[in-house]
């Protein structure tokens, strides 16, 4: 099982990478064959190139992430609640999200799932 402190550190690196506008830093926490399903129920982005492209596009919105409480670690999973803050169409917006990361033995994320829906969008209209 991956080390819990490394798992939590990966979550904090994810948030910091958004703050730095660095999709490369986000992609670096993922295993080469990882899958990102964001939001859950949409086609996954599989593999490093697809994940990098997804986060490059995501960061073009200027989004910044703010953790909402502690990272929860259970087995090889980390779960964390956060808010996405962005300025869109002339006003500030917020999306409340819960992400889960599943880790491999090497401490790399192999699966990411993002949970949010229409009731989690604030200020969009």
Residue 69's φ and ψ, nearest 5 degrees, are: 100, 180
Active-site hit among 3, 33, 38, 92 = 38
In degrees to the nearest 10, what's the CA dihedral of 59, 6, 33, 79? Answer: -70
From 14, 55, 96, 99, active-site residue: 14
Active site residue 14: yes
Judge whether 30 and 17 are in contact, CB under 8 Å: no
Residue 122 contacts residue 95 (beta carbons within 8 Å): yes
Let me know if 89 is a catalytic residue: no
Tell me the catalytic residues: 14, 38
């Amino acid at each position: 099982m991956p080390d819990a402190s490394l798992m939590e550190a990966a979550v904090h690196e994810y948030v910091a990478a958004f703050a730095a506008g660095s999709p490369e830093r986000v992609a670096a926490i993922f295993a080469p064959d990882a899958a990102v399903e964001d939001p859950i129920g949409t086609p996954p982005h599989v593999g490093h190139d697809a994940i990098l492209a997804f986060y490059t596009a995501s960061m073009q919105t200027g989004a910044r992430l703010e953790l909402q409480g502690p990272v929860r670690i259970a087995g090889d999973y980390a779960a964390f609640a956060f808010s996405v803050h962005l300025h869109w169409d002339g006003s500030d917006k917020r999306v409340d999200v819960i992400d889960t990361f599943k880790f491999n033995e090497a401490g790399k994320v192999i699966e990411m799932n993002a949970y949010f829906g229409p009731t989690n969008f604030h200020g969009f209209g």
